[in-house]
A and B are shown apart, each in its own frame.
Chain A
């Protein structure tokens, strides 16, 4: 459904992406692993139309969205849950969810999705009227994921959802990611926690300094000697 071909991006004077080819097929969790500065976040940002591209195409369900405005990209069903959660601290939990549905006007649908998010994260229901800034790091991450789901995405892109969280919370987050996939949302995941990511991924890409150096099924990469050495610390 999403297909990136030969994508080049210059970002802050750096040749950040040097010809990326990446595909997301329907009904899958795809993960993108690699070291800091490899260009993972830039890849997601360029899909969202937040960074200008110099070359290449991004096709989404047969539509070219290479130079589409962020707002339209969201409208077409792609959403990015950014690195560092970035919830709006002085909006309430409920408002954060509502702003996730900013482009939607179907009141009933929004309410239904809100209930679904509260189902996924019961803690959010408890804290509905609390300011998002008062939540703990893990709760903020859950809110950020919930907020992204409120746009009713067909493709949910998660940038480092486990960063800085306690191991137990990380486990929760990965369980939820699987649940989201079961609900019919495709997931494109960036993770430093390569092991956990590969375990739940149907397919994965390894990125190094702006290029994709390896790709394969999640299980396959888990057993690959080079991946083990470089990313799994084995």
Chain B
């Protein structure tokens, strides 16, 4: 019992932050699944979503700010796709990757320009920031809301991909661009839908994440973005359940390490995990095995 009361807060925090990583990781993994592109700007978009909330909340009430953040982040994600990736559709993969790195720096510097490099305080969402008691451990409401919300969203997403027409098109496009076109599928539309979903989830992730870690810097997207990326690789890039499981594993482990008074190493753990995964099972937990039958 004593053991539980010592570790419970860390486990809760781990589940919570893991869920937030999961929401970012889905964006990485879906875009990779379709475009074979690591969207390096994804983490920075998450940070921009946070800043949007900061600035919008100064003028608007929260119940308008938050939906607006979701809409604007989705628009930002699609704009990035149209401006930075679409013109490079037939270019070598390296070009589009460099373009993604360019967008990442652009967003960071845009944020630096807007904030002057000072940490901005995220608006307080009363309901999420409220303190609650779970088996004697006190924590914020967001800790409980996050995993539930993540599960609901992931189930909805998986159903969308499995049972709807656009979901079927996404699965087809992720496999074979040219043949999908021959079916009359509009590739660009499918890619846009992918970015809409990825950006939407990242925006929700940013609301939950920054309710916990209220200071936003232009570099705030970097670390969660990287960890979500590692989660996606861990789960097998391209796989949505893989990314979610990977994110929870990373979130929980890094908090357990903190609980063992090894906070200094908690970030290092993520990257050690990345190295091990790449050495032992480069395709990740549920990575696609390319079997071509002739």
Interface residues of chain A, those whose CB is within 8 Å of chain B, are 48, 50, 70-71, 74-75, 79-80, 82, 84, 86, 88-91, 95, 98-100, 102-103, 133, 135, 137, 140, 147, 151, 164
Q: A98 contacts which chain B residues (CB < 8 A)?
A: 168
A31 to B161, CA, bound (A): 39
Chain B residues with CB under 8 Å of chain A are 165, 168-169, 171-172, 175-176, 178-179, 181-186, 291-294
Nearest 9 Cβ contacts at the A-B interface: A74-B184, A103-B184, A86-B179, A70-B181, A102-B183, A71-B184, A102-B184, A88-B172, A80-B182
Across-interface contacts of A137 in B (CB, < 8 A): 293-294
Give A136's nearest chain B residue, CB to CB.
B293
Contacts of B179 in A (CB 8 A): 82, 86, 88
Interface contact A133-B184, CB-CB below 8 Å: no
Selected contact of A90 from candidates B169, B171, B185, CB within 8 Å? B171
**CB of B31 to closest CB in A, whole Å:** 18
B228 to chain A, nearest CB (A): 25
Q: Could you say which residues of chain A place their CB within 8 Å of the CB of B182?
A: 48, 50, 70, 74, 79-80, 82
B104 CB to closest chain A CB, in angstroms? 31
Contact B169 A86 (CB under 8 A): no
Contacts of A95 in B (CB 8 A): 168
Distance in angstroms between the alpha carbons of A79 and B181 in the assembled complex: 11
State whether A99 and B169 are in contact (beta carbons under 8 Å apart), knowing that A88-B176, A89-B293, A137-B293 are contacts in the complex: yes
Residues of A within 8 A of B181 (CB): 48, 50, 70-71
Q: For A151, give the chain B residue with the smallest CB separation.
A: B184
A86 to B178, CA, bound (A): 9
A-B contact count (CB 8 A): 64
Asked if A82 and B178 make an inter-chain contact with CB atoms under 8 angstroms apart, the answer reads yes
**Cβ–Cβ < 8 Å partners of A70 in chain B:** 181-182, 184
Whole-angstrom CA separation of A140 from B292 in the bound complex: 12
Chain A residues closer than 8 Å to B175, beta-carbon distance: 88-90
Residues in B with CB closer than 8 Å to A74 are 182-184
CB-nearest residue of chain A relative to B186?
Answer: A71
Distance (Å) between the CB of A90 and the closest chain B CB? 7
Given A71-B185, A82-B178, A103-B184, A88:B291 Cβ within 8 A: no
Query: Closest residue to A80 on the B side, CB-wise?
Result: B182
Report yes or no: B184 in contact with A75, Cβ–Cβ below 8 A.
Answer: yes
Question: What is the distance, in angstroms, from B59's C-beta to the closest C-beta of chain A?
Answer: 43
CB distance from B167 to the nearest CB of A (A): 10
- Measured between alpha carbons, how far is A70 from B292 in the docked complex, in Å? 26
Report how far A50 CA is from B179 CA in the complex, Å.
10
Assuming A70-B181, A137-B293, what are 10 further A-B pairs, CB within 8 angstroms?
A48-B181, A71-B185, A75-B184, A84-B294, A86-B179, A88-B179, A99-B172, A102-B165, A133-B293, A140-B293
A100 touches B291 (CB 8 A): no
A91-B168 in contact given A86-B176, A133-B291, A137-B293 (Cβ < 8 Å): yes
Q: Which residue of B lies closest to A104 (CB)?
A: B184
Bound-state CA distance A164–B169 (Å) is: 28
Name the residue of chain A whose CB is nearest to the CB of B179: A86
Is B183 within 8 A of A151, CB to CB?
Answer: yes
Cβ of A50 and Cβ of B186 under 8 Å apart? no
What separation, in Å, do the CA atoms of A71 and B181 have in the docked complex?
7
Residues of B within 8 A of A102 (CB): 165, 169, 183-185
